[in-house]
């Protein structure tokens, strides 16, 4: 039998060898502390992600246009529109060589997140000479348009809707839409909602916002892949909740099936580090016929393929639009 002194010594030795208060092994306490620390650290990262996502994703820094169609020796009209939810919008309407009324059709072009309409003037350079009117719009919260927030693809369909009403008022009702990145998402959603759009080209588009958000969280914030994937899903819902819509209703993948039987062309680079090419495959799988997909290794995110193969890009795009509007040589663009 141990004496009281020997018993105290034994208990002290037991404490030193791994017992904690309440009879719990010290390793369990340390593991609990590590878990609590991980949860606290994850919470801190999510708070950091919240602040980053709301500001950088829904309130991108505005930049001024660095050029105009005049730089391409093209005539154009500056136009002001108003969306159904009362956002003031700015744009350029560029007539075909024979004038608005003689165009084969009018093409609405959509820029990427944080960009402005001058960023896609390079496409006007081959579309307008081929007989197309071109309408370029600064999306809400971009360039010279009003609005405090971008929804990264969903609410912007109202910007396109304003453009469609404006064109109809000018007697122009034969319409196609083409966009890059954010503009691709807007093009898909808009075509799903507005049947008067005759065809769609979506370049570097995402199937759902969670995908590029996850990539951005990993590359910009340096978060580990598993956390970044969760942040992508979480950020998609955060943006929707902040702006008052349902995330599941805002995904281009949910709208692309509505485009058929109107033609669709999806363009993507396998080297896209912001919007993985899996998005193009997902969109293509959900789309109805007629549809086509042009995927190749050609640079990073937009301008991607166009930057590497501009001549082939222009040829393919014009072949698509000429097919959509075959048999419509002009006559008020109708």
30-57 confidence digits (pLDDT tens): 444 443 443 444 455 566 667 666 677 7
**What is the torsion angle, in degrees rounded to the nearest 10, for the CA atoms of residue 277, residue 281, residue 287 and residue 288?**
140
- Would the pLDDT of 160 be above 80? yes
Percentage of the chain exceeding pLDDT 70: 81
Q: Are strands 105-110 and 175-180 parallel, antiparallel or unpaired?
A: parallel
**What mean pLDDT is predicted for residues 278-295?**
97
Q: Are strands 77-82 and 88-94 parallel, antiparallel or unpaired?
A: antiparallel
What values do phi and psi take at 142, rounded to 5?
-135, 150
CATH of the domain at 152: 3.40.50.1820
Residue 121: strand, helix, or coil: helix
Q: Is 255 within the bounds of a domain?
A: yes
The pLDDT-based confidence of 142 (bands split at 50, 70, 90) is very high
Span between the terminal Cα atoms of the chain, in Å: 105
The closest of 164, 166, 94, 169 to 132, measured between CA atoms, is 94
b/e map of 134-157 (b: 16 or more CB within 10 Å)?
bbbbbbbbbbbbbbebbbbbbbbb
Chain CA centroid to CA 316, Å: 23
DSSP conformational letter for 37: H
| Residues 308/298, Cβ–Cβ less than 8 Å | yes
Q: Is 57 within the bounds of a domain?
A: no
pLDDT tens-digit map of 183-237: 999 999 999 999 999 999 999 999 988 888 888 777 767 777 788 788 888 888 8
The pLDDT-based confidence of 145 (bands split at 50, 70, 90) is very high
Q: Is 236 within the bounds of a domain?
A: yes
Q: Is 149 within the bounds of a domain?
A: yes
Q: How many domains does the chain have?
A: 1
**What mean pLDDT is predicted for residues 164-188?**
97
| Residues 266/293, Cβ–Cβ less than 8 Å | yes
Q: Is 51 within the bounds of a domain?
A: no
- For residue 254, the enclosing domain spans 69-324
The residue among 218 and 109 whose pLDDT is bigger is 109
Q: In what order do the strands lie in the sheet with 175-180?
A: 77-82, 88-94, 132-137, 105-110, 175-180, 197-203, 264-269, 291-296
Q: Is 30 within the bounds of a domain?
A: no
- Would the pLDDT of 254 be above 90? yes
Distances (CA, A) of 6 to 10, 13, 42, 94, 295: 6, 10, 46, 96, 78
Q: Is 27 within the bounds of a domain?
A: no
Q: Is 38 within the bounds of a domain?
A: no
Q: Cα–Cα distance between 194 and 262 in angstroms, integer? A: 11
Neighbours of 65 (CB within 10 A): 17
Q: Cα–Cα distance between 295 and 318 in angstroms, integer? A: 17
What values do phi and psi take at 34, rounded to 5?
-65, -40
Neighbours of 162 (CB within 10 A): 23
- What would the two tokens of residue 153 be? 């693809």
| Cβ contacts of 311-316, under 8 Å, gap ≥ 24 | 313/267, 314/123, 314/126, 316/265
pLDDT of residue 18: 40
| DSSP β-bridge partners for residue 180 | 203
Q: Is the dihedral of CA 89, 129, 190, 110 positive or negative?
A: negative
What values do phi and psi take at 74, rounded to 5?
-115, 135
């Amino acid at each position: 039998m141990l004496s009281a002194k020997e018993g105290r010594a034994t208990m002290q030795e037991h404490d030193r060898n791994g017992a904690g208060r309440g009879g719990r092994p010290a390793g369990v306490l340390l593991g609990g502390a590590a878990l609590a620390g991980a949860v606290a650290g994850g919470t801190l990262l999510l708070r950091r992600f919240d602040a980053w996502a709301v500001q950088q994703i829904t309130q991108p820094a505005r930049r001024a246009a660095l050029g105009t169609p005049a730089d391409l020796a093209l005539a154009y009209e500056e136009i002001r529109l108003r969306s159904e939810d009362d956002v003031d919008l700015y744009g350029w309407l560029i007539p075909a060589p024979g004038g608005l009324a003689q165009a084969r059709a009018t093409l609405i072009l959509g820029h990427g997140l944080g960009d402005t309409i001058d960023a896609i003037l390079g496409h006007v350079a081959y579309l307008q000479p081929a007989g197309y009117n071109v309408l370029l719009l600064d999306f809400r919260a971009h360039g010279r348009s009003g609005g405090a927030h971008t929804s990264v693809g969903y609410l912007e369909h109202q910007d396109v809707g304003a453009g469609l009403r404006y064109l109809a008022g000018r007697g122009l009702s034969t319409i196609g839409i083409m966009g890059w990145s954010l503009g691709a998402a807007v093009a898909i959603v808009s075509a799903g909602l507005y049947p008067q759009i005759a065809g769609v080209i979506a370049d570097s588009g995402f199937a759902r916002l969670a995908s590029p958000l996850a990539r951005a969280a990993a590359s910009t914030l340096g978060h580990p892949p598993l956390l970044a994937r969760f942040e992508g899903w979480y950020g998609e819902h955060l943006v929707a909740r902040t702006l008052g819509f349902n995330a599941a209703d805002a995904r281009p993948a949910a709208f692309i099936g509505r485009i058929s039987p109107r033609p669709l062309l999806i363009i993507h680079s396998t080297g896209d580090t912001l919007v993985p090419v899996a998005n193009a495959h997902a969109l293509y799988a959900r789309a109805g016929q007629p549809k086509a997909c042009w995927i190749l290794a050609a640079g990073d995110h937009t301008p991607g393929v166009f930057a590497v193969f501009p001549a082939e890009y222009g040829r393919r795009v014009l072949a698509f639009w000429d097919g959509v509007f075959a048999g419509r040589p002009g006559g008020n663009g109708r």
